Structure 1
Amino acid sequence: MSDLLDQQCINTLRFLSVDMVQHANSGHPGLPLGAAPMAYALWTGQLKHHPANPQWVDRDRFVLSAGHGSALLYSLLHVTGYELSLDDIKQFRQWGSKAPGHPERGHTPGVEVTTGPLGQGLANAVGLAIGEAHLAARYNREGHALIDHHTWAIVSDGDLMEGVAAEAASLAGHLKLGKLICLYDDNYVTLAAGTDITFSEDRAKRFEAYGWQTIEVADGNDLAAIHAAMEAARADTSRPSLILVRTHLGFGSPEQDSYKAHGSPLGVEDVKKTKEKLDWPVDPPFLLPQEALTHFRQALTRGAKAEADWNGRLDAYTKAYPELARELQDRLASQLPSGWDSDIPVFPADAKGLATRVASGKVMNAMAAKLPALGGGSADLDPSTHTALKGLGDFNPKAIAHQDTQGSDSAGWSYAGRNLHFGVREHAMGAIANGLAAHGGFIPYGSTFLIFSDYLRPAIRLAALTGLHVVHVFTHDSIALGEDGPTHQPVEQLASLRAIPHLTVIRPADANETAVAWKVAVETRNRPVLLALTRQDVATLDRQIYASADGLRHGAYVLKDYPASTAKDPTPVLILIASGSEVGLILAAAERLQSEGIAVRCVSMPSWELFDAQPQSYRDQVLPPKITARLAVELGVAQGWHRYTGDRGDMLGVERFGASAPADILLREYGFTVDNVVAKAKALLHG
C-alpha cells in the first residue's frame, strides 16, 4: 500500500476526532492528533479482531487507558466496521449517544473496558492478559491453540503517574505477561502543563526494573518504526512490553505541544488552520474518503477469516477434548455447571460458632472444585482472609521457584493455577479483577480487610458502573477486630460502599448466612458483590429455632418474633434490626425484652440492596409500617439506616473512630451490650 493512502487514513482518524470534539464543543482533540499514527498501525496491521462480532472469544483486547482520547477510539470503531455509525459519532458526548465522553463497556460495541480515571485501563489490561494466560494454560493442548490472543493498550503520561498503574505494572512484570503490549503516548504534556514540572523520571528504566521490555520510537509519525517496535514486542513472549512512542500533543494544530490542546475544542479557526497544515479539506466536516474507508473496512474480511479459522480449530478441539470444550464454553457463556453448589456445607448450630471469614473459606473451597471459573486471591492476606483455594495451584510463571513457610518446594506454579497473589497492591487487585471479569470466563474475587476497601474504591466503583461480576471478600469488618486499633477498624466503610449504585453489599450474620451469601455472589450477573465478614467468632444460629438462612436472598428477613405472654396482644410493638455479628446481640436483647413483657421482632438485614429490590409487599411484611418503634444495631456509622428505622426509630452505631483494645472491651465501651440495646429499645417505646 502507498504512503499516501497511509497518510490519508491517519488524517481520516485525526479529523473525524477533531470534528467530533468541535461539533460537541467538548472533548479532547490533542491525543487523537498525536496518537493517530500508532493507533492506525495497530488497528490495521496488528490487532486481531472482527468488527462484525465484537464478542468473538479469541479476539485481541484493546484498551484505551487514556480514555479522554475517546474520539480516536470511536473513529477507529466506525471506520473499521463496528456498529457505530457516522450519525452516532456526530452525537459525541450528547444525551443518549453511543459515543459518550469516555469509553464505556456495554454502551459502545467494541469497547472492552470503561476508562477515563487514569491508570485504571492499564491495570484492567493486566487483568485481561492474566485471563488469556490462564485460559490458554488450562485449555490449550498440543496442536490445539484455542486461546491465543494479545492485550494491547494505549497509555498516557497521566496513566504512568497513577499509583494503580505502578502497582499493576509491577505485578505484570513479575508474572512475565508476554502477551501484554502497551503503546505509550509519550508527548511530554499533561492537562495543566508540560511534564517537566512533575514527571522527570526515566520511564523506560522504571519499566525495565519492573521486568518489562521497553522499546523507544523516536518519531510518532514513523509507521515503519512503530510496526517494527510492535513486532519486537510480540516476539518477546517472556516479558510485557512498553513501547515509548515520542508523539506531539495536538499535532499540526496551532497549540501543538501545549497543554491547551489537551482538553478543549480547538475552535473553528484553529480547526481550519490544522486541516490546512496537514493538507486536509476544511469542508465538509466528518470527511470520510472512500479509499480510506475501503482500506479500513478490510478489517471485516480479515476478522471473518480469523474467526472462521478459529471456529474450525474449535470444532477439532471439541472432538478431541469434548469435556474441556464444554467446560470452556460454559465458562465463556457465564453458565454455572450442574451441581456447582451441591457440596456447600450446612453448618450445625453452635453457640461458640466460627468467624464468618472462616465459614467463607470453607464455602469457597467446597465450591471451587465444581466451579472452575472461580479464581482470585488477596492483597497478601490469604492466611487472614481465608481465600486460598486449596490444591488448585498458584498463577505464576513455572520458572519462578517458590518455597512455602516450611521451606519445601510448592507444587502447582503455572498460569493454570487459580490462586492469584496480588502482593500488597489493593488498588491494582481491584482493577485487575475488573479486567478478568471483562475478559470473560471468570468469576474473579479479590480480598483484603474491609478498612482497605478505601484503597481500591475507584476500581469497585468502576465495576459497579460497568456491570462487571466481581466478588470482593472483605474481612475484619468492624471495631471488634480488636487490638490493631483505629487504623485497621472500619467505621464509615460500610456506609460509603452502600452509597455506590449497582453494588451489592452483604454482611452475613453467621456461617449459614455466609454460605447463602456466596451462592448469591456466584449467581449474580452484571454487577459486583461485596461480602463483609468478621474476624471474631459468631454463634451459628439454630435454624430449627430461627428462620432459614435462605432469607438472606431477600436482603432482610424475620429471624424470629418474640411474643410477650403477659401482654394482651402478642403482636410485636418493637423491631430490632441488625446485620452481621450484631444479629446475635439483638437476639439476646429480644429475650430480655420478652421476659419483661415486651413483644419484639428480630430482623436480620444482611443486604440493603437485596432488600430494596424486593416488592413493597414483602418489605412491609418484614417491617410493618404500623410498627414505628425500630432500633437498628450495627458496628458502623448510622448514615443511611434512617430509611429502615423511620423518623421514630433509632440506630446504635459507631460515630467515632475505634481504639486499640481487646474486642470484648471495645464492644462494652462503645455500647454494644445487651443492657444498652434494651435501654435504647425501651426509650423508643416510652419516648
Structure 2
Amino acid sequence: MSNIDTMSVNAIRVLSADAVQKANSGHPGLPLGSAAMAYELWAKHMNHNPKNPTWANRDRFVLSGGHGSTLLYSLLHLFGYGNLSKEDLANFRQLDSLTPGHPEYGHTVGVEATTGPLGAGMAMAVGMAMGEAHLAAKFNKEGYPIVDHYTYVLGGDGCMMEGISSEAFSLAGTLALNKLIVLYDSNKISIEGDTDIAFTEDVKKRFEAFGFQTLVVEDGNNLEEIGAAIEAAKADKTRPSMITVKTKIGFGSPKEGQASAHGEPLGVDNVAALRVKLGWPSTEDFFVPEEVYDNFNSITEKNTKIEEAWNKLFKEYSEKYPDMKELWDKHHDEAIAKELLDSEDFWAYADKPDATRNLSGMVINRIKDLVPGFIGGSADLSPSTKTYMKEEGDYSKDNYAGRNLHFGVRELAMAAIGNGLALHGGLRPFVSTFFVFSDYVKPMARLSSLMGLPLTFVLTHDSIGVGEDGPTHEPIEQLAMLRAMPNFTVFRPADATETIASWYYAITSTKTPTALVLTRQNLPQYANSSKEALKGAYIIAPSTKEVPDAIILASGSEVELGVKAKEELLKDGIDVRVVSVPSIDVFEQQSKEYKEAILPNNVRARVAIEAAIDFGWGKYVGLDGAYVTMKGFGASAPAAKLFEKFGFTTENVVSTVKSIL
C-alpha cells in the first residue's frame, strides 16, 4: 500500500470516527473496518463522476449496511460530490443536515438508495443490476456498449441474516447477473456480540448454491488483494460475484473487534488513540491533509475523462442509430404517459361486468405499447393478477430484453427489486401479488415512499370476495395499513373507468408509489363513473335533492351495494347521494371547496361501506354516521355466502342508513 493510499484510507476512518463522535451518536465500527475496501473500489475500479452524479452509465454503489453511513459520507466529501463539506460531516445526524443517520436517496448527492433496514440495499442492488442488463440488451449495438456498468453493494452479517437478501440473491443467481458484485464485510460481530450466537452457516457455500462466483479476501486492509478480487469478479461473464472481505470492526481503535464498536461513539479518548494508531498527522477534528484531497481530485479528473469518452461514444451512437436515440429519450421521459388523458382508445372498455384485475390487465397491455420503459411482473402469480404483457417476452438469463419479470414466490425481495429498477433510471416498473400479501411487501413499499419512487403495486384478490381460500387469504386490515403510509397512493376502483383512471394516475406519478387494489370477482360498469375518479372521490349516483337525506360512501366492489341501496331507499322516500371513493389519499389532496361539494358539512347522516375494517373512514363518517365494514377476519366459503354473512347486502345497507336518519 503506497503512503498516499494509506493516508486516503485513514482519512475515511478519521472523518467517520469524528462525525460519529461529534454527533455522540452513530455506528463507527463498519466505516473503520470497511474503509480499505471502499477506497479500493471507489478509487481504482468504479466508474463514477462526482461532477455529474447522475451520469447514466456510472457504476452504482449501494451501502446496504446503511448504519455505516459515515463511510459513504466521507467518500462523498473526499471525492467532492455535491460539495459535501466538513461542516456537513460535523452536522452528522442533526436536523436538516445533508448527513442523516442513514443514507437517504434524493437528499444527499451521490446516495443511490435509501438504506437502513438491513438487507434492503442488497435486494435493491439486484434490481439495479437487472435494469442494467435489460437496457444493455435493448440498446447496445456492436461497438457501442452504451449501457455497460456494474452494480456494487456492500453489507455485513446483518444483511446476510435478513431473509430478503437470500430471496434476492437466489433470483440474481438464477438470472446470471454477472455485473452484480456483492462485497461482504465479514467481521463476525453483531450488536449482541459474536455472530456465532445466532449465525454459524457457511455464507460462501450459500452463495455458491445461488449460482454466484465466490471469492475471499483474507486481509480486509490489503488493497492489492481486494483489488484482485474485484477484477476477478468483473472478469466472470456468466455469474454474479460475492467477495467475502474479512475485516475487523472498529479497526485501529481500542474497541477493535468488539461489539461496542458497532453502534455507539468510540469516545473522545478512543478517537484520540485511533489517530495515534493510524499515525494521523493532526489531532484536529475533521483534519485531512491537502495531499489526500489532491489524490481524490486526481481520481475525479480521471473519471471525468471516462465519462467524456462515453459522451462521445453516445453522440456517435445517436447519429448512427437515430431510432434508438428516440427510443432512449422515451425511456427517460417521465411525462410520456400524460397524453393518455385524452386518448379515447386508452379509456375504451367493453360495457359488461368484469373483474378489475382483468380490466387492469387490459390497461397494462395498452400502456406497454406507449411506454417502452414499462416493465414488471409478479411473485409467481401473473395468471391470477393478470399482469402479463403480451408479445413482450420473459426476462431471463437468455433474454434480458424481456419485459415480463418472474420474481418467483419472493414478495419482499420483489418490492425491493422494483425499487432498484426505478432507482436505476430509464424504466417504469410495476410489481404484483395478492393484496393480503402486501404484508410481505410493506417494508419495501415504505422505502418506495421514502425515496419518492413511482413504483406501481398491482394487488389483486382484494377482499372477503376471495371466498373459499379463507381468512389467511382475505385482506381485512391491509387497506388501512397502506392508506396510513405517507406519500403512498392507494386506489380501489369500482369499474373499468375507475381502473383506467387508477392506472393513469400511477403511470403519470413522478414522486409517489401507487397501489392498485383489484377484485377477483366481476363488477358492473356504471354510466356515471368518470375521470373524476382522478380526484379520489366523486358523486357516482346523485340525489335529486340539493341537500341529500344521507350520503353513502364506498370503494371498489362495495359501490354496487351503495347504488342498489339508493334505489331501495327511494321507494321509502329517502333520497341519498352515493359517493365512490377510489382513493382516499387523492381525495385528501383536493381543495376544501371540492371536498365540501362532494361531502357537504350539513349532511351528517353518512354511511361508509367497505369489505375491510373501518379504520380511516371516521374523518368522513363523523360521530353521527355508521359503517358497513368488517369487524374481524373472514371465513372459508363461496364469496356470495361471505358477503351475506358479514352484512354486505342491500338490506343491511338500507337498514344502516335508516338507523341514522
Instruction: Mark yes or no: TM-score above 0.5.
Output: yes
Alignment partner, residue 316 of structure 2:
316
Alignment partner, residue 6 of structure 1:
5
Superimposed CA distance per residue, residues 293-321 of structure 1 (whole angstroms, 9 cap, x where no aligned partner) = 11112233123212211111111111111
1:156 maps onto 2:137 in alignment: no
Give matches, 1:512-551, under 5 Å: 512-541=497-526, 543=527, 546=528, 548-551=529-532
Are the aligned partners of 1:339 and 1:370 in contact in 2 as well (CA < 8 Å)?
Answer: no
Q: How far apart are 1:599 and its partner, in Å?
A: 1.3
Alignment partner, residue 138 of structure 2:
138
Q: Give 3-state SS (helix, strand or coil) of 1:263's partner.
A: coil
Alignment partner, residue 48 of structure 1:
47
Are the aligned partners of 1:217 and 1:245 in contact in 2 as well (CA < 8 Å)?
Answer: yes
- Gaps of at least 5 residues in structure 2 are none
Alignment partner, residue 304 of structure 1:
304
Give matches, 1:226-237, under 5 Å: 226-237=226-237
Match of 1:650 among 605, 626, 632: 626
> Matches of 1:646 and 1:346 in 2, distance apart?
37
The code of the aligned residue for 1:658 comes to G
Match of 2:432 among 447, 451, 473: 447
Q: How far apart are 1:441 and its partner, in Å?
A: 1.0
Alignment partner, residue 472 of structure 2:
487
Alignment partner, residue 669 of structure 1:
645
Give matches, 1:488-637, under 5 Å: 488-541=473-526, 543=527, 546=528, 548-563=529-544, 571-637=547-613
> Matches of 2:45 and 2:289 in 1, distance apart?
23
> Matches of 1:255 and 1:300 in 2, distance apart?
34
1:70 maps onto 2:69 in alignment: yes
> Matches of 2:572 and 2:351 in 1, distance apart?
27
Are the aligned partners of 1:80 and 1:298 in contact in 2 as well (CA < 8 Å)?
Answer: no
> Matches of 1:622 and 1:254 in 2, distance apart?
66
> Matches of 1:580 and 1:426 in 2, distance apart?
24
Q: Give 3-state SS (helix, strand or coil) of 1:671's partner.
A: coil
Specify which structure has the higher proportion of helix: 2
> Matches of 2:626 and 2:159 in 1, distance apart?
46
The code of the aligned residue for 1:288 comes to V
Give matches, 1:108-257, under 5 Å: 108-257=108-257
Superimposed CA distance per residue, residues 504-524 of structure 1 (whole angstroms, 9 cap, x where no aligned partner) = 000000122101111111011
Are the aligned partners of 1:216 and 1:245 in contact in 2 as well (CA < 8 Å)?
Answer: yes
> Matches of 2:603 and 2:340 in 1, distance apart?
41
Are the aligned partners of 1:176 and 1:239 in contact in 2 as well (CA < 8 Å)?
Answer: yes
Distance 1:392 1:282, change over 3 A: same
Are the aligned partners of 1:590 and 1:600 in contact in 2 as well (CA < 8 Å)?
Answer: yes
Superimposed CA distance per residue, residues 81-127 of structure 1 (whole angstroms, 9 cap, x where no aligned partner) = 11111111111100010000000000000000000100000000000
1:294 maps onto 2:275 in alignment: no
Alignment partner, residue 357 of structure 1:
357
Q: How far apart are 1:3 and its partner, in Å?
A: 1.4
Q: How far apart are 1:652 and its partner, in Å?
A: 1.2
Q: How far apart are 1:397 and its partner, in Å?
A: 1.3
Are the aligned partners of 2:63 and 2:155 in contact in 1 as well (CA < 8 Å)?
Answer: yes
The code of the aligned residue for 1:118 comes to L
Alignment partner, residue 349 of structure 2:
347
> Matches of 2:332 and 2:294 in 1, distance apart?
33
> Matches of 2:350 and 2:422 in 1, distance apart?
34
Identity %: 50
> Matches of 1:493 and 1:271 in 2, distance apart?
48
Are the aligned partners of 1:51 and 1:299 in contact in 2 as well (CA < 8 Å)?
Answer: no
Alignment partner, residue 334 of structure 1:
334
Q: Give 3-state SS (helix, strand or coil) of 1:682's partner.
A: helix
Q: Give 3-state SS (helix, strand or coil) of 1:538's partner.
A: coil
Superimposed CA distance per residue, residues 398-450 of structure 1 (whole angstroms, 9 cap, x where no aligned partner) = 1xxxxxxxxxxxxxxx0000000000000000000000000111110000000
The code of the aligned residue for 1:534 comes to T
> Matches of 1:196 and 1:535 in 2, distance apart?
47
> Matches of 1:133 and 1:595 in 2, distance apart?
63
Match of 2:423 among 417, 438, 454: 438
Distance 1:320 1:339, change over 3 A: farther
Alignment partner, residue 26 of structure 1:
25
The code of the aligned residue for 2:558 comes to E
Match of 1:459 among 444, 456, 474: 444
Are the aligned partners of 1:562 and 1:594 in contact in 2 as well (CA < 8 Å)?
Answer: no
Alignment partner, residue 371 of structure 2:
371
Q: Give 3-state SS (helix, strand or coil) of 2:432's partner.
A: strand
Alignment partner, residue 37 of structure 1:
36
Alignment partner, residue 411 of structure 1:
none
Alignment partner, residue 102 of structure 1:
102
Q: How far apart are 1:334 and its partner, in Å?
A: 2.1
Q: How far apart are 1:12 and its partner, in Å?
A: 0.3
The TM-score normalised by the length of structure 2 is 0.98
> Matches of 1:584 and 1:338 in 2, distance apart?
30
Give matches, 1:368-447, under 5 Å: 368-398=368-398, 414-447=399-432
Superimposed CA distance per residue, residues 306-362 of structure 1 (whole angstroms, 9 cap, x where no aligned partner) = 221111111111111112212212322424168567442522433xx0100000001
The code of the aligned residue for 1:122 comes to M
Are the aligned partners of 2:337 and 2:507 in contact in 1 as well (CA < 8 Å)?
Answer: no
> Matches of 2:597 and 2:346 in 1, distance apart?
30
> Matches of 2:404 and 2:351 in 1, distance apart?
31
Q: How far apart are 1:682 and its partner, in Å?
A: 0.4
Are the aligned partners of 1:447 and 1:473 in contact in 2 as well (CA < 8 Å)?
Answer: yes
The code of the aligned residue for 1:675 comes to E
Are the aligned partners of 2:490 and 2:584 in contact in 1 as well (CA < 8 Å)?
Answer: yes
Are the aligned partners of 1:272 and 1:282 in contact in 2 as well (CA < 8 Å)?
Answer: no
The code of the aligned residue for 2:400 comes to Y
Superimposed CA distance per residue, residues 181-210 of structure 1 (whole angstroms, 9 cap, x where no aligned partner) = 011100000111111111111100000000
The code of the aligned residue for 2:404 comes to N
Superimposed CA distance per residue, residues 127-184 of structure 1 (whole angstroms, 9 cap, x where no aligned partner) = 0000100000001111111111100111110000001111000000000000000111
The code of the aligned residue for 1:149 comes to H
> Matches of 2:608 and 2:239 in 1, distance apart?
53
1:468 maps onto 2:453 in alignment: yes
> Matches of 1:37 and 1:56 in 2, distance apart?
25
> Matches of 1:488 and 1:337 in 2, distance apart?
34
Are the aligned partners of 2:337 and 2:508 in contact in 1 as well (CA < 8 Å)?
Answer: no
Aligned residues: 658
> Matches of 1:220 and 1:186 in 2, distance apart?
9
